[in-house]
Structure 1
Amino acid sequence: MTQEINLKSEITATQTGQRLDQTLAELFPDYSRTRIKEWIQTGSVYVDGVVQTKPREKVLEGQEVQVEAMLQEETKAEAQAIDLNIVYEDDHIIVINKQAGLVVHPGAGNSDGTLLNALLHHCPAIELVPRAGIVHRLDKDTTGLMVVAKTVEAQTHLVAALQAREIVREYEAIVQGTIISGGTVDEPIDRHPTKRTHMAVVHNGKPAVTHYRVAEKYRAHTRLRLRLESGRTHQIRVHMAHIGHVLVGDPVYAGRPRPPKGVTPEFFEVYMGFKRQALHAIRLELAHPFTFEVMSWQAPIPEDMVTLTRALREDTKANPADY
């Protein structure tokens, strides 16, 4: 599938002397600098009717610039009929409440059956958008809200908003140990130096900031509300492990489940049966990429976390001396 792009504008006085790629990014902000540079280098950009192939070429006031390009299919994956819990959709974006067990992108061990495959089936035109419009991820077993762009223009705006920290993403998590008060973890994250499937706090890693506050305390656990400033892989899981409060059920960072002493058989069954990280993207807020209206959504806590929370409350009531 392809889509024809035809853009036209005139260089202003303030843009005189600027690079061509910089100027086009200003004139056509719906498209990324990378895409604009590609269009220039492939001969799709004309200045006063003459093809220009050098992104560094300087421009002058009054020159007419034109882009005649084709948006090619970006995503080489199979469309698959996979149920999606769509909480909002219009011509520009889709907001999804992702279920546990759904991988976002195809990869090693997950060549299909992913959110990307589902999006291609639900909205075939999204194959023209890089990564099928996915602008941020949730881990396979993390549930909750994600926004997906249906057009290149919407994706460009959402990626920029994400980088500018203008998209609010809040999570609920249940961690081991009792946390007295909220705080912030400001520690860089990168690949673990020896365990290549793990992430870790690394001194020369990418900046990562996680804010958290206490939502509810239990005998030996805490329910937290968290907000991200950055979006590193496994960020919440790594940051909580770093401060000594791993997420309940986390198969990567928590190790073998360790229920507190003196629990009932019912609690033991619920706790040991929780096989994923207790993490849910509960709230999403952003400015719509087309209307710029500030929009917000909330996703109900999934049933398995509700059951776990109920069990933790009952355990706390049954062991008041330890609380």
Structure 2
Amino acid sequence: MSEHIELTGTVPASCNGKRLDQTLAELFPDYSRSRLKTWITDGWVKVDDEVVDKPREKVITGMDITVNAEIMEEQRFEAQAIELDIVYEDDAILVLNKPAGLVVHPGAGTPDGTLLNALLHHYPAIDQVPRAGIIHRLDKDTTGLMVVAKTLPAQTHLVAAMQEREITREYEAVCNGPMTAGGHIDEPIGRHPTKRTHMAVVPTGKPAVTHYRVVERFRNHTHLRLRLETGRTHQIRVHMAHLRHPLVGDFTYGGRPRPPQNASPELLSFLRNFKRQALHAARLSLHHPITGEWMSWDAPTPPDFVELLKMLRADRQSHANDDQR
């Protein structure tokens, strides 16, 4: 069983002089590098209307790229009975509230036990949709809302809406350090030049924009509400670290415990043992891919995040009382 697919794109300035296979990986990140390389060698890729079958061929800015390929049946993943917190479901889409610790897609080191495995069990027909309908991801330890397409037409519409920035994703986060005001971060994100599993703000990265506002200030932390304009890997985590306000619990990007002065033993212990980034996808809004209706969902703040806020408020109040004495 196979599916015909056509992809088009133009070589961006960030790919000028790069290899064709590297450029395809940037233009079409939904497909693996090995698959893209196979499409090139099979003669399914055209550059400026001419077939190019050498992955190492260099490209320059402005070249038009067309891919006409056949996608063979996806690797068969096992359906597993993993509980899902489903917020909304109809014949076309499914919206769920992902818990911390759940990996979205099988990969190196995580062959199963993922959201994809759970979706195959919940709705077996979703195996006819590439990547089991998953159109965007949350990091393993990020909680909150995700939308999944149950059919190919729904997936096509949702992927287009994501690319056109027509899906609104809002997050709650707690960062280290006091922030005085909201704003936005417009800094490109790409692979870290030396740490290949990390992302970073780099001049050659893809455009990335994050909007944020202050919800509540604590003595040495800030509760934020953020909205993604783009959806790069680790975007909020990288942008906040770039501002020197890494997220609480985000050890990958510098979010080590930074307790306020004279913090209580309870708060010190809590911050040391908060083992995930304090990030929650709180609201998801989109046009339904079939009906066009504007829909919006909210996910309650998870208990560990609520407890973090409670501890920081108690610390603030305790020292305010001390100051008044």
- TM-score (ref. length: structure 1): 0.78
Find the counterpart in structure 1 of residue 96 from structure 2.
96
CA drift at 1:318: 1.3
Matches within 5 A, 1:85-124: 85-124=85-124
Residue 317, structure 1, aligned to residue 288, structure 2? no
Alignment partners' CA distance in 2, 1:277 and 1:190: 20
SS at match of 2:309: helix
Match of 2:35 in 1: none
Following the alignment from structure 2 to structure 1, what is the Cα–Cα distance between the partners of residues 86 and 214?
29
- Number of the residue aligned with 1:167: 167
Query: Judging changes above 3 Å, is the alpha-carbon distance between structure 1 residues 262 and 4 closer, same or farther for their aligned structure 2 residues?
Result: closer
Separation (CA, whole Å) in 2 of partners of 1:97 and 1:293: 21
Change (3 A) 1:158 1:198: same
Contact 1:73 1:129 in 2 (8 A): no
Q: 1:245 to 1:71 in 2, by over 3 A?
A: closer
The amino acid of 1:220's aligned partner reads N
Q: Tell me by how many angstroms 1:273 deviates.
A: 1.5
2:243 & 2:71 partners in 1: Cα distance?
A: 46
TM superposition shift of 1:267: 1.4
Cα distance in 1 for partners of 2:291, 2:206 equals 32
- Residue type of the alignment partner of 1:155: Q
Q: CA RMSD in A?
A: 2.8
Q: Which structure 2 residues correspond to residues 172-191 of structure 1 after superposition, within 5 A?
A: 172-191=172-191
2:248–2:256 contact (8 Å) kept in structure 1? no
User: Aligned residues, how many?
Assistant: 269
Distance apart, 1:275 and its partner CA: 0.4
Matched residue of 2:83: which SS?
coil
Tell me if structure 2 keeps the 8 A contact 1:188–1:201: yes
Q: Is contact 1:135–1:148 with CA below 8 Å preserved after alignment?
A: yes
Counterpart in the other structure of 2:34: none
Structure 1 residues 1-323: aligned runs within 5 Å: 73-320=73-320
Residue type at the aligned position of 1:285 = S
Secondary structure of the residue aligned to 1:308 is helix
Question: Partner of 1:249: helix, strand, or coil?
Answer: coil
1:260: how far off?
1.8
SS at match of 2:252: coil
Cα offset, 1:264, TM superposition: 1.1
The one-character-per-residue Cα deviations of 1:127-168 (angstroms, maximum 9, x if unpaired) are 111111000010000000000000010000000001111100
Distance 1:4 1:311, change over 3 A: closer
Cα separation, 2, equivalents of 1:108 and 1:185: 31
Seen in structure 2, the aligned counterparts of structure 1 residues 125 and 304 have a Cα distance that, compared at 3 Å, is same
Task: Name structure 2 gaps, 5 residues minimum.
Answer: 9-29, 31-38, 40-48, 50-69
Relative to structure 1, the CA distance from residue 132 to residue 4 in structure 2 (aligned partners, 3 Å threshold; closer, same or farther) is: closer
Alpha-carbon distance in 2 for matches of 1:90, 1:146: 15
Deviation at 1:281, TM superposition (A): 0.1
| CA distance in structure 2 between the aligned counterparts of 1:132 and 1:265, rounded to whole angstroms | 46
**SS of match in other structure, 2:156:** helix
Unaligned segments of structure 1, at least 5 residues:
6-19, 23-33, 35-40, 42-55, 57-69
> Structure 1 residues 180, 248: closer, same or farther in 2, change over 3 A?
same
Measured in 1, the distance between the counterparts of 2:235 and 2:266 equals 32
Q: TM-score, normalised by structure 2?
A: 0.77
| 2: CA distance, partners of 1:183 / 1:155 | 32
Instruction: Note the C-alpha offset of 1:74.
Output: 3.0
Aligned AA for 2:90? D
